[in-house]
């Protein structure tokens, strides 16, 4: 499912000019560590465990696209990843840098990335992009040959989505262009060079799903 129209560049500049309080570093850091710990642990499981992470030198790069308040960047860094946040909102990036973490302001589709990230996470990002297929292609091209892509977003075919009906808040979310079912997103990931190896149900937002996919060695 997708919207009929998209924001113009001028419209996007207006949207990104304002940063919500929950999109900047701060709040309850210990609570946020617990919120994002399962994501990092799932990634470690896909990589082969914490010992596999420790065996990698230099520490593998984790690129968090649409990093928001930076809590996942901070948590991944705590586990030993070279974590870098990327966001279109300048205030968000400045706040994360001021906290002592790496962050870049820019567009995922055009930003220059040194080396090949081992992990790319797009937490509640894909539904905001005009062309999610191009974003998946971009992620595939950037990732390390043994890399992992993590995606979270609403699942339009889950029980909570269905039961919310017309009261579903995602129908009026002005920054969302797309809604995906698990089956459709899995098919797209496979089409653009990924194998889904793990599925999870986070509790950060309503009707969320979380997919962990590894890069195919050959397309």
Give the tens place of pLDDT for each residue, 75-130: 999 999 999 999 988 888 999 999 999 999 999 999 988 889 999 999 999 999 98
| pLDDT digit string, tens, across residues 187-208 | 999 999 999 999 999 999 999 9
At residue 219, the pLDDT reads 56
At residue 72, the pLDDT reads 97
The whole-chain average pLDDT of the chain stands at 92
- In the predicted model, is pLDDT for residue 23 greater than 70? no
Full set of structural domains in the chain with CATH:
9-215 (3.40.50.150)
At residue 217, the pLDDT reads 78
Nearest to 111 by CA among 153, 67, 79: 67
Model confidence, pTM: 0.92
The Cα 55–Cα 165 span in angstroms is 48
The Cα 214–Cα 194 span in angstroms is 5
Q: To 10 degrees, what angle do helices 132-142 and 182-191 make?
A: 50
- In the predicted model, is pLDDT for residue 20 greater than 70? no
The answer to whether the bond into 50 is cis (omega within 30° of 0) is: no
The Cα 134–Cα 155 span in angstroms is 20
| pLDDT digit string, tens, across residues 130-151 | 899 999 999 999 999 999 999 9
Neighbours of 197 (CB within 10 A): 13
């Amino acid at each position: 499912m997708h919207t009929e129209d998209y924001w113009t560049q001028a419209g996007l500049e207006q949207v990104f000019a304002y940063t919500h309080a929950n999109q900047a570093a701060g709040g309850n850091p210990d609570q946020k560590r617990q919120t994002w710990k399962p994501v990092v642990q799932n990634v470690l499981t896909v990589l082969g465990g914490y010992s596999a992470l420790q065996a990698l030198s230099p520490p593998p790069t984790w690129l968090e696209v649409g990093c928001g308040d930076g809590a996942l960047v901070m948590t991944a860094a705590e586990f030993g990843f070279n974590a870098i946040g990327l966001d279109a909102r300048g205030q968000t990036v400045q706040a994360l840098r001021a906290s002592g973490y790496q962050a870049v302001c820019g567009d995922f589709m055009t930003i220059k990335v040194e080396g090949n990230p081992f992990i790319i996470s797009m937490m509640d990002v894909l539904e905001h992009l005009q062309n999610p297929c191009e974003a998946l292609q971009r992620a595939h091209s950037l990732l390390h040959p043994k890399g992992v892509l993590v995606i979270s977003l609403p699942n339009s075919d889950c029980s909570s989505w269905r039961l919310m009906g017309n009261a579903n808040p995602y129908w009026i979310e002005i920054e969302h262009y797309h809604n995906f079912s698990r089956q459709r997103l899995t098919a797209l990931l496979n089409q653009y060079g990924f194998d889904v190896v793990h599925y999870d149900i986070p509790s950060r937002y309503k009707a969320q799903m979380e997919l962990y996919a590894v890069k195919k060695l050959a397309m």
